[in-house]
Amino acid sequence: MKRLISLLLALAFLQAGLAGAEPVSVGSVKNIQGRVHIVRGGETVPAEVGSRLYQNDTIVTGEAGTIGVLFKDNSGLSMGPDSRLQITRYVFDPAASQLGFVARVTKGTMVYLSGLIAKLGRDSVRFETTTAVAGVRGTRLAIQVQGD
């Protein structure tokens, strides 16, 4: 009986947690140079050191802009000037074996140092460009895409 009650309590708690769920941040901005902004749900917000990032965010750097980001799985991403990258999927829940990072690079340069998602999940990190897909088994890589 005791067990049943605690199970019910746990379920209620879980549900409350889901109902009031705020979007979970996937990482934060560690360094910025020049002008960098984030496109989030059609709105443009300036990126600053300490800014949180979310799934579906697009990071856009200006002519002299660069940015460094650390994600929750301890992977690191940096972008050079005049670049554009969307975090199309970011799932990091090792306890539930839910792991995935997919980013779409449409312009410019970026460097990525893989973290726990690549380490724990096979074929779970992917970078898509307009002409190909890079499957990452680790650890550090760079991608350049010529904009149109």
Partner 1 sequence: MMFTALGRYLTGLCLCLLACGLAAGCGPKSQFLLLPDPDGRVGALTVSNEKGSQLLDKAYMGASVDSADKAPSPPTVWSQDKITKLFGPALEAQPDPAVTFILYFISGTSDLTEESIEKIPRIMAAIRDRKSTDLSVIGHTDRVGAAEMNRRLSVNRASRVAEILISKGADSNSIEVTSHGEENPLIPTADDVAEPKNRRVEVTVR
Q: Which residues are at the interface with partner 1 (CB under 8 A)?
A: 27-28, 30-31, 33, 50, 66-70, 72, 74, 76, 78-81, 83, 94-95, 97, 105-107, 109-111, 113-114, 118, 120, 129-148
Is residue 83 within 8 A of residue 58, CB to CB? The reply is: no
Q: 97 CB contacts (<8 Å, ≥6 apart)?
A: 121
- Shortest Cβ 70–partner 1 spacing (Å): 4
> For partner 1, which is the closer residue by CB, 103 or 105?
105
- Shortest Cβ 12–partner 1 spacing (Å): 16
- Shortest Cβ 82–partner 1 spacing (Å): 10
Q: At 138, give phi and psi (nearest 5°).
A: 115, 170
* 18 sits in which H/E element: helix 2-19
Is residue 84 within 8 A of residue 108, CB to CB? The reply is: yes
Place of tokens 């705020």: 22
- Shortest Cβ 8–partner 1 spacing (Å): 15
Is residue 106 within 8 A of residue 82, CB to CB? The reply is: no
> For partner 1, which is the closer residue by CB, 42 or 79?
79
Q: At 95, give phi and psi (nearest 5°).
A: -60, -30
> For partner 1, which is the closer residue by CB, 39 or 134?
134
> For partner 1, which is the closer residue by CB, 15 or 138?
138
